[in-house]
Chain A
Amino acid sequence: MSARVPVRQRIITSSLLAVAALYFLAPVYWLVVSATKSSADLFGTFGFWFSDHPRPLAYLTGVLTYDHGVYARWFANSLLYAGVGAVCATGLSAAAGYALAKFPFRGRETVFGLVLAGVLIPSTALALPLYFLFSALGLADTYGAVLIPSVVSPFGVYLCRIYAAAAVPDALLEAARIDGAGEARIFAGLGLRLMGPALVTVFLFQFVHIWNNYFLPLVMLSDSDLYPVQLGLTTWLGYADRQPVLYQYTVGGALLSVLPLMVLMTVLQRYWRTGLTEGSVKA
C-alpha cells in the first residue's frame, strides 16, 4: 500500500504533521525545561534551552516541601475529587443508562430528555447557582461541595444508554431471568461486564473533567486545605510578585500536575476512541 503513495506526497504530509507536532509539543517542552530552572534563570535564560546548572530534583523537592508540603495535600485532594468522583459517576451512569436502555418504564423518555438537557447546559452557568444553593444548605467550603456535583454525569448516562442498547442483548437478560436471577445480580454480573469499554470511557471523561475543573472549586472553596492542585497553583502564582521563588514552584508544580493525566491518556488511548465513536457516530 505504501508503495503506491508518491514520495513527494509522503514528504509533504510528514512535514505538515511535523509542524503541527511542534506547535502542540513546544509548550510542554518549555515546561519540562523550565522545571529545571531557578526563578532567576527563568527570567534570565533562553526559555527553550537549559540553564548552565539545571537542578530538576532539587526544585521539584522544593515544590513538594514548600509551606509544610501543601502541594502534596492539594495533589491528594485532586486525586480524591477526580478518583472518587469519577468512580461514583461511572457507577451511577451505568445503572441509569442500563435501565434507560433495557427497561420500558413509564416516563423513560422524559428522564432521557432531562439527561440530554443536562448535557447541553454550560457547567459554569450552573456552578454559581449551585454555590448559592450549597451555601444555603451549609455545604459550601467542604469536600462534599466539589465531590457531590462531580458524581453526576449526564453525558455518562447518555453514553451508557447508547452503549447498553447495542451491546447488551435482550435475549441474554431474558435467559438469566428464566434461570431465576434477580435484576440486581443480572446487572452486576452481565450488564456491567458487557458495558465494560463504555464504562472505562465514562470514567476517563469524568476523571479529566473533574481534574481540569477550575470554576466549581474556585467558587465553592475558601479553605486552602481543601483546594485541588489547579486552584493551589493559581494562588502561588498570585503571590509570586512578592515571593519570586514561587515562580519556579508554580512551574514545577504545573509539570507534576499534568503528569498523571498524560500517563492516563496515553495508556488508555484506545478507550477514548471507543467512547468517542459511540458518542458521536451513533447519536
Chain B
Amino acid sequence: MSATAARRPRRTGRPGARNARAAAGFVLPFLALFALCYLAPVCYAVWTSLRRTARTGPLGLGTERDVFAGLANYAQALADDRFLTGFGRVLLFGVVQIPLMTALATALALLLESAAARWVTFFRSAFFLPYGVPGVIASILWGFLYVPGLSPLVRIAQAVGWNVDFLSRGSVLWSVANIVTWQFTGYTMLVLIAQLKSVPGELYEAARIDGAGAWQVARYVKLPMLRPALVLTTVFSIIGTLQLFAEPMVLRPLASSIDSGYTPNLHAYSEAFVGNNQHRAAAEAVLLALVACAASFGFLRLVGGRGKEHG
C-alpha cells in the first residue's frame, strides 16, 4: 500500500478538483450505505441503550414514554448472572475450540502441501466442502447425528459398549464446538495453504538439499511462515465465537441445558423479542461489540509484541 502511495503520478492542469470529484463519485454510493447499515445502527444502539421505557398513569398502565436512563441498562446487564455466565461460556469455548481447530487446520495444510500427499485436489475439496453448508443446516444435520434413537453415531458407540450422550449438560457445549470445527476447519486450512503457496518453492527445495527431512521442513521452514495467516484466522475465529448463535438456537429443542441465555447473543435476542426490552438488548449488543473489539485488538497486541521480541 505504501509503495503505491509513493508511486503517485505527476499531475497536470487542475487534476486535484477532477480527482476529488471522480473519487467522490466512486466512494459515495458505498459510504452512504455504509453509514446507513453500520454507523447509524451503532449510534442508534448507543442512544437506545441509554434510555428506558417509563409508564405514566395509575399502576403504570398509562401511556409509555422513552426517558433518559443513564447507564442503568448496562448496570442491569452486567448484574445479570445469566448474561455473564453466557460470556464465560463462549470464552471457555473459544479458549478450547480455536486452538484445536487452528491446530487441525495447520496439520491438514502442511500434510496437503507435503511432497508425500496424493489426491490433493480431492482431499482439499473434501475438507473445504462443509464451509458451504450454512450454520443452520450444519446444526440441523449434526443435531440429527446427536439425538439418541436416530443417530447412527450413538448406535455405533453403543454397539461397542460406550454409552454416549452428546446433548447432556456437560457435553453439549463441545457438541456445538464440533459443529463449528466441522464447518470452519477447511476454510482456515485454505487460508494457510494460500500463505504457503505464496512462498517460492526453491526455499523448500534448498532446505531439503541441506538435508532437512519432511518433518524438519514443515516445522522449521513452513510453520514460521504461516504466522501472519494464523493471526488473521484467529482474529476471525474470535469474532465468530463471540457471536455464537445459530448452533445453540437450533440445538435448543434437543438439549434441555441450552437456555435462552446460553450465549450473550442468544441472551440479547431473547431480551429483544421475548422480554420485549429493546433498551436492555441494545445495551447487550453494545457490550458484545465492545468485548469482540477488545478481544481481537488484545490478541493482535499480544502476538504483535511477541513478534517484535523475536526480531
Tell me the complex Cα distance, A216–B149, Å: 33
The reply to whether B269 and A128 contact each other, CB–CB distance below 8 Å, is yes
Which chain A residues lie closer than 8 Å to B255 at the CB level?
A: none
Minimum distance in angstroms from A24 CB to a CB of chain B:
5
For B293, give the chain A residue with the smallest CB separation. A120
Q: Is A47 an interface residue (CB 8 A)?
A: yes
Beta-carbon nearest neighbor of A170 in chain B: B9
A17 touches B111 (CB 8 A): yes
Contact, CB under 8 Å: A257 / B137: yes
- Encode contact with A along B234-245: 1 for CB under 8 Å, 0 otherwise: 010001001101
Given contacts A129-B45, A258-B133, 11 further A-B contacts (CB under 8 A): A13-B116, A28-B133, A30-B144, A115-B34, A122-B288, A125-B288, A154-B34, A183-B18, A187-B26, A215-B245, A261-B133
**Chain B, range 190-210, C-beta contacts under 8 Å to A:** 190-191, 193-195, 197-198
Measured between beta carbons, the chain A residues less than 8 angstroms from B126 are 21, 24-25
Contact A262 B150 (CB under 8 A): no
Complex: A66 Cα to B265 Cα, angstroms: 33
Contact with A92, one of B29, B123, B140, B145 (Cβ below 8 angstroms): B29
Complex Cα spacing A128 to B275, Å: 14
Kindly provide the distance from the CB of A37 to the nearest chain B CB, expressed in whole angstroms.
11
> What would be 29 A-B contacts, judged by CB atoms less than 8 Å apart?
A5-B214, A24-B182, A25-B126, A27-B142, A47-B152, A99-B23, A101-B4, A114-B39, A118-B34, A120-B235, A121-B293, A129-B41, A132-B45, A183-B26, A184-B22, A212-B134, A214-B246, A231-B136, A234-B250, A258-B137, A276-B190, A277-B197, A280-B194, A280-B195, A280-B232, A281-B195, A281-B228, A281-B229, A283-B228
Does A190 belong to the interface (CB within 8 Å)?
Answer: no
Residues of chain A at the chain B interface (Cβ within 8 Å): 1-2, 4-5, 9-10, 12-14, 16-17, 20-21, 23-25, 27-28, 30-31, 34, 42-43, 46-48, 92-93, 95-96, 98-101, 103-106, 108, 111, 114-115, 118, 120-126, 128-133, 136, 148-149, 151-152, 154, 157, 161-162, 165-166, 170-171, 173-174, 183-184, 187, 208, 211-212, 214-215, 219, 230-231, 233-234, 237-238, 250-251, 254, 257-258, 261-262, 264-266, 269, 272-273, 276-277, 279-281, 283
Most buried by A among B27, B235, B296: B27
Q: Which of A165, A265, A277 contacts B128 (CB 8 A)?
A: A265
Beta-carbon contact of A106 and B141 below 8 Å: no
Interface residues on B, range: 35 or more
Are B27 and A99 neighbours in the complex by a CB distance under 8 Å? yes
In the A-B complex, list the 7 residue pairs whose CB atoms are closest, starting with the nearest: A47-B152, A129-B45, A99-B26, A103-B23, A183-B22, A129-B41, A261-B132
B101 interface residue (CB < 8 Å to A): no
Q: Is residue B36 within 8 Å, beta carbon to beta carbon, of the partner chain?
A: yes
Residue B155 at the chain A interface, CB threshold 8 Å: yes
B285 interfacial contact with A, CB 8 Å:
yes
Total A-B pairs in contact (CB under 8 Å)?
Answer: 297
How far is the CB of B295 from the nearest CB of chain A, in Å?
Answer: 10
Residues on the B chain within 8 Å of A230, using CB = 134, 136-137
* CA gap between A31 and B131 in the complex, in Å: 15
